[in-house]
């Protein structure tokens, strides 16, 4: 809102003035300017960057066997202090400190307020090494504790919920880590394990235990420091003369047989990045951790990269999409070792710079792994539909966004930085030429290795490489402004640029030509035509029947899986919008086509949508027979779980039988844990549904965010509207708490789980009522809500 925009401008100007004043004074900071407030303000980050040098953390954690008991820890923070006696030093910490803190060996009561421990400058030695030590209780928020494993996830500012630290990206440090864990647990961290680890003397691990120590000699910001501990299988392999490690919990031999492929793809990504950047893999080691129920796709912690199991371990008949997605994920997180880890943004307003290059490099790496695939189509498929899904809404925003405090940094993430930014970067590379672009990136990485940089630093380097490219004007149009430029499409005969991005303007004759002829175009144009048809459908230039007929007729003539699977996605999208009384013919046509697909992976992909989305009695009967037999070779355990959820919703008299039968079939403990949490949403009892919804309003029941999102989505299934409309306002009232207590993608996931099943005018009016009653609502959070609500509002136009 206007008042909040004015505040952001004031804060930005204050930060600029303060930064200039620090630079003018030289290396020693003067009296503290940053107020003591919650979070990590930009002002505080500037102040501490001037005050501190050579930061080191010596950390130890005691992890009890029961997750109901608190994890405790000790830390000694060592640093050179460049401030003076009139200054104070703020150490970030959200949880409880036990007893006194020790400053250079002297005990002192902790001055702990507004999520900071305040150290008076008079107690520190200016220009010398200082030590601050304390014992503390850890918050569970970023520890992701399960019964027999845990993993830390500190991005963007959650390290301060686990240990006292300087939680900002431009204070890089070295770490020493000791973990006291339950017996039978193993651990991995950023650094190499030390031999003969010494158990922690106090407090003792109940019932025995095991110990691990790690030394992290690479400079890392706190958000990249990480460890995982628990019951895991460990796999190792040698590739190109280096040892690679994977920790995982998978017991299915068909899936663990894929480990060699995962190692190969990791090695390819490393080799490609080294050749492109001319910089060897910069960190001590390379390791992967594959996690069930993981709330991200992956996270780029050097030495212990985290990956979501569903993306990495594929079913028996993976589609081309699924194989590409696995490689893309591994390559994306590996590319981060250079872009984000080696060179880190100075402040999180430039977080998009690490994400754009991770995605952009992953696209290039995929070209080497899969040379026979049309990679222009893959680029369109990977980025355009997702970017447009945000950019066409009221909730869109520029690629680069302002940030006043790190406690709002999670709201910067989304489709614009992950998908619009690579579209921009592809055009920037074309303007410069690939060789000049590569030289510029190499210079950027060399200049800022193990340090921090801004987007403007990079633009200046690239501009020096190719001044005639006009990059600063390009930057202003693409990076600093939001929304879509108009792009006129003359469709007849394929007379258009398939890589054009914007608000597509197509006159009626061109649109009609596309609807009847898109499948005859060259491959890349054919895929772009699907994007245009979908865009026209969303803007009501094309009706359900016309769009469905065009896609179902065209898909029968496709032999490119990337085109075919997108057709399937768009057909299911149309099906969701189609009134129940008109759906039977569509569902029957899709089922018939799916069963006739000769390619097993394509058959599975089309039927997947139907088995979680169908409503007509004949198709539901077919799905029930497939589920009951449980021997259809193209389906996975997770596919059968989705069928069970749909059937339990549609057959309330048999829902207990369906769910209990499905539960008995599950052999994987992690999958069973997910099923037990999510399947409760299938209950036909409206009182139980209400109780389940109210349970999700408590933060302790949202700890495993993918499970919470799946349960909320079931409670708001289209079959349950209008009853489920009662959940909209209370769920939105909790949105700020969801943002404050959840991880970076959860606010949008919460809104999508809540709203995606709604298409009614009543639901739309409830969303507008919420916004009208909250005129000062945080702008970025409002943006997430407007993105999620787009399909409700567009369906009513």
Distance (Å, whole) CA 113 – CA 68: 26
**Average pLDDT of the segment spanning 564-572:** 95
pLDDT confidence of 20, banded at 50, 70, 90?
very low
Looking at residue 202, its pLDDT comes to: 56
What phi, psi does 192 have (nearest 5°)? -85, 145
Q: Strands (DSSP E) along 362-438, which ranges?
A: none
Q: Is 87 exposed, middle or buried (0-12, 13-18, 19+ CB in 10 A)?
A: buried
For residue 395, what are the contacts with CB-CB under 8 A and spacing of at least 6?
782, 783, 784, 785, 786, 787, 788, 790
Tell me the pLDDT tens digit for each residue of 737-796: 999 999 999 999 999 999 999 999 999 999 999 999 999 999 999 999 999 999 998 877
Three-class SS state of 167: coil
In the predicted structure, residue 736 carries a pLDDT above the cut 50 = yes
Tell me the pLDDT tens digit for each residue of 404-417: 999 999 999 999 99
Tell me, rounded to whole angstroms, the distance of Cα 241 from its chain centroid: 32
Three-class SS state of 273: helix
| Torsion from C-alpha of 64, 70, 76, 78, nearest 10 degrees | 120
Q: How high does pLDDT run on average in the chain?
A: 93
Lowest mean pLDDT among 126-130, 136-140, 201-205, 458-462: 201-205
Distance (Å, whole) CA 333 – CA 306: 9
DSSP state of 40: -
Distance (Å, whole) CA 131 – CA 81: 10
pLDDT confidence of 208, banded at 50, 70, 90?
low
pLDDT confidence of 163, banded at 50, 70, 90?
very high
What phi, psi does 379 have (nearest 5°)? -65, -45
Burial 55-71 (b: 16+ CB within 10 A, else e): bebbbbbbbbbebeebb
**Average pLDDT of the segment spanning 625-631:** 95
In the predicted structure, residue 27 carries a pLDDT above the cut 70 = no
**Average pLDDT of the segment spanning 421-435:** 97
Answer whether 204's CB lies under 8 Å from 219's CB: no
Q: Which helix (H) or strand (E) segment is 108 a member of?
A: strand 106-108
Answer whether 790's CB lies under 8 Å from 393's CB: yes
Inter-CA distances, 330 with 23, 359, 518, Å: 40, 11, 34
Three-class SS state of 483: coil
Instruction: Give me 249's structure tokens.
Output: 């919990």
In the predicted structure, residue 376 carries a pLDDT above the cut 70 = yes
Strand partners, 90: 118
Looking at residue 16, its pLDDT comes to: 45
**Average pLDDT of the segment spanning 694-701:** 97
pLDDT confidence of 598, banded at 50, 70, 90?
confident
Distance (Å, whole) CA 662 – CA 613: 18
What phi, psi does 253 have (nearest 5°)? -65, -30
Instruction: Give me 622's structure tokens.
Output: 């077919």
pLDDT confidence of 60, banded at 50, 70, 90?
very high
Tell me the pLDDT tens digit for each residue of 461-503: 999 999 999 998 999 999 999 999 999 999 998 899 999 999 9
Three-class SS state of 788: helix
Q: Is 126 exposed, middle or buried (0-12, 13-18, 19+ CB in 10 A)?
A: middle
- 617-629 vs 637-650: helix axis angle to the nearest 10? 140
Peptide bond before 203: cis, by omega within 30 degrees of 0?
A: yes
**Average pLDDT of the segment spanning 667-682:** 97
Angle made by CA atoms 792, 793, 796, in degrees to the nearest 5 = 90
The single residue listed with the structure tokens 């009967």 is 621
Answer whether 115's CB lies under 8 Å from 132's CB: no
For residue 594, what are the contacts with CB-CB under 8 A and spacing of at least 6?
603, 606, 607, 610
DSSP state of 121: G
- How far from each other are the two terminal CA atoms of the chain, in whole angstroms? 25
pLDDT > 70 fraction of the chain, expressed in percent and rounded: 95
Pair type for strands 116-120 and 112-113: antiparallel
Answer whether 273's CB lies under 8 Å from 257's CB: no
Distance (Å, whole) CA 218 – CA 200: 24
Looking at residue 273, its pLDDT comes to: 98
Looking at residue 652, its pLDDT comes to: 97
Looking at residue 30, its pLDDT comes to: 38
């Amino acid at each position: 809102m206007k008042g909040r925009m004015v505040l952001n401008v004031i804060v930005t100007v204050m930060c600029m003035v303060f930064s200039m004043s620090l630079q003018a004074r030289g290396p020693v900071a003067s009296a503290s300017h940053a107020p003591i407030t919650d979070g990590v303000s930009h002002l505080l980050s500037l102040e501490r960057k001037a005050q501190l040098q050579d930061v080191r953390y010596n950390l130890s954690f005691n992890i009890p066997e029961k997750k109901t008991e608190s994890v405790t820890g000790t830390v000694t923070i060592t640093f050179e202090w460049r401030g003076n006696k009139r200054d104070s030093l703020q150490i970030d910490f959200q949880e409880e400190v036990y007893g006194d803190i020790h400053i250079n060996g002297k005990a002192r009561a902790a001055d702990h307020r507004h999520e900071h421990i305040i150290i008076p400058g008079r107690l520190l030695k200016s220009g010398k090494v200082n030590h601050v030590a304390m014992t503390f209780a850890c918050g569970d928020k970023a520890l992701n504790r399960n019964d027999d494993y845990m993993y830390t996830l500190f991005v963007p500012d959650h390290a301060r919920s686990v240990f006292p630290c300087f939680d900002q990206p431009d204070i890089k440090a070295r770490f020493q880590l000791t973990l006291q864990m339950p017996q039978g647990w193993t651990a991995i961290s950023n650094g190499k394990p030390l031999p003969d680890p010494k158990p922690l003397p106090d407090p003792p691990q109940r019932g025995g235990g095991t110990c691990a120590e790690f030394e992290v000699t690479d400079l890392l910001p706190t958000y990249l420091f990480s460890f995982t501990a628990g019951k895991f299988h460990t796999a190792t392999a040698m590739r190109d003369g280096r040892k690679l490690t994977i920790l995982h919990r998978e017991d299915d031999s068909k899936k663990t047989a894929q480990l060699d492929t995962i190692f190969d793809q990791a090695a390819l990504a490393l080799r490609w990045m080294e050749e492109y950047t001319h910089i060897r893999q910069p960190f001590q080691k390379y390791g992967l951790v594959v996690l069930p129920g993981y709330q991200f796709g992956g996270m780029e912690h050097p030495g212990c990269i985290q990956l979501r199991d569903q993306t990495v371990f594929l079913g028996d008949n993976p589609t081309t999409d699924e194989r590409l997605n696995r490689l893309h994920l591994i390559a994306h997180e590996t590319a981060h070792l250079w872009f984000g880890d080696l060179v880190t943004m100075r402040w999180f307003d430039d977080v998009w710079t690490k994400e754009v290059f991770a995605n952009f490099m992953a696209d290039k790496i995929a070209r080497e792994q899969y040379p026979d695939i049309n990679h222009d189509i893959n680029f369109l498929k990977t980025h355009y539909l997702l970017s447009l899904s945000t950019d066409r809404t009221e909730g869109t925003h520029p690629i680069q966004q302002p940030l006043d405090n790190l406690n709002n940094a999670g709201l910067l993430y989304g489709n614009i930085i992950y998908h619009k930014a690579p579209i921009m970067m592809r055009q920037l590379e074309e303007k410069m030429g690939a060789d000049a672009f590569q030289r510029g990136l190499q210079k950027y990485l060399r200049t800022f290795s193990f340090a921090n940089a801004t987007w403007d630093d990079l633009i200046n380097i690239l501009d020096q490489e190719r001044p005639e490219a006009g990059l600063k004007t390009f930057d202003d149009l693409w990076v600093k402004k939001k929304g879509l430029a108009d792009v006129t499409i003359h469709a007849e005969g394929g007379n258009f640029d398939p890589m054009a991005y914007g608000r597509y303007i197509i006159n009626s004759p061109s649109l009609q030509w596309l609807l009847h002829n898109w499948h005859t175009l060259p491959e890349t144009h054919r895929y772009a035509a699907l994007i245009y048809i979908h865009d026209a459908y969303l803007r009501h230039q094309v009706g359900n029947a016309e769009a469905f007929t065009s896609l179902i007729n065209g898909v029968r003539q496709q032999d490119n899986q990337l085109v075919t699977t997108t057709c399937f996605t768009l057909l299911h999208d149309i099906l969701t919008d189609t009134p129940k009384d008109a759906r039977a013919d569509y569902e029957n046509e899709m089922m018939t086509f799916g069963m006739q697909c000769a390619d097993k992976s394509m058959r599975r992909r089309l039927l997947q949508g139907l088995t979680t989305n169908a409503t007509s009695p004949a198709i539901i009967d077919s799905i029930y027979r497939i589920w009951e037999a449980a021997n259809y070779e193209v389906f996975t355990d997770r596919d059968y779980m989705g069928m069970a959820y749909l059937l339990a919703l549609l057959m309330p008299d048999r829902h207990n039988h369906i769910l209990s039968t499905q539960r008995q079939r599950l052999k994987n403990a992690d999958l069973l844990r997910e099923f037990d949490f999510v399947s409760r949403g299938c209950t036909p009892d409206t009182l139980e549904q209400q109780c389940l919804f109210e349970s999700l309003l408590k933060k302790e029941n949202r700890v495993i965010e993918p499970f919470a999102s799946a349960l909320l989505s079931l409670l708001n299934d289209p079959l349950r509207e209008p009853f489920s409309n009662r959940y909209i306002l209370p769920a939105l009232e909790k949105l700020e708490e969801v943002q404050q207590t959840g991880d970076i993608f959860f606010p949008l996931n919460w809104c999508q789980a809540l709203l995606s099943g709604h298409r009614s005018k009543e639901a739309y009016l409830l969303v507008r009522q919420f916004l009208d009653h909250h005129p000062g609502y945080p702008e970025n959070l409002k943006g997430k809500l407007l993105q999620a609500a787009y399909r409700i509002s567009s369906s009513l136009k």
